């Protein structure tokens, strides 16, 4: 996440070869692409850490 980033609330996944932005609300792809297998692993982590992701969006959006 980046401070004061644009809506909708989202997070970025960046690898050496790919970059993608994922909407927090429904884990939809906002922009970018990456292999499905990599995305599946990242989204599994995101689901397990949803509370932290939402809290971090709030913290970074109020700076």
pLDDT tens across 11-31, in order?
999 999 999 999 999 999 999
pTM: 0.88
Question: What percent of the chain is modeled with pLDDT above 70?
Answer: 98
Nearest-CA neighbor of 34 among 53, 19, 22?
Answer: 19
- d(C-alpha 41, C-alpha 6), whole Å: 25
């Amino acid at each position: 996440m980046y401070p004061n980033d644009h809506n909708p609330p989202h997070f970025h996944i960046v690898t050496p070869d790919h970059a993608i932005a994922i909407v927090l609300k429904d884990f939809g792809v906002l922009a970018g692409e990456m292999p499905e297998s990599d995305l599946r692993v990242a989204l599994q982590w995101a689901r397990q850490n949803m509370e932290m992701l939402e809290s971090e969006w709030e913290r970074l959006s109020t700076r």
